Amino acid sequence: MKVEDIRVFVPCKNYDESKAFYSDLGFSQAPATDDLTLVENGDCTFFLQRFYNKDFAENLMLQVCVADIDHAYELAKATKYAQKLTPIESERWGKVFYLWGPSGELLHVTQLSN
């Protein structure tokens, strides 16, 4: 099997709020169906789905690798839809901050060291 892409389906407690959250972070969107939106930034894509399961949503984690963590942090601070945001931390492998989306999903926003 040769895998060309893997896309996650992110559950949405409030579909419109989730779309606004990811838009505020710089993601473009295109409707796939009435209940599914393709979310894109660069070559990276995933789906927002009009479906919510609390246990699944609050255990979903996404690593979002960025080129400029300071810029990403400023965007994250500006969105009113984030549930929680941590400061940027330095790790041996790079820098990271944690951002919880409106449905409880956790984004590990990461700038890897070269």
Q: Is pLDDT at 56 greater than 90 in this prediction?
A: yes
Q: What is the dotted CATH code of the domain comprising 9-112?
A: 3.10.180.10
Cα–Cα dist 33/87, whole Å: 36
Residue range 60-69, pLDDT digits in tens: 999 999 999 9
Q: How high is the pLDDT of residue 28?
A: 98
Q: Helix, strand, coil proportions of the chain in percent (round to 5)?
A: 20, 40, 40
Q: Is pLDDT at 114 greater than 80 in this prediction?
A: no
Average confidence score pLDDT of the chain: 96
Q: Cα 84 vs. chain centroid, distance in angstroms?
A: 13
Amino acid identity for residue 73 in this structure:
Y
Residue range 27-52, pLDDT digits in tens: 999 999 999 999 999 999 999 999 99
88 touches 96 (CB < 8 A)? yes
Residue 95: which pLDDT band, with cuts at 50, 70 and 90?
very high
Q: Is pLDDT at 82 greater than 80 in this prediction?
A: yes
Domain residue ranges in the chain: 9-112
Q: How high is the pLDDT of residue 83?
A: 85
- C-alpha pair distances (Å), 86 with each of 18, 34, 96: 19, 34, 9
Cα–Cα dist 100/88, whole Å: 14
Q: How high is the pLDDT of residue 55?
A: 97
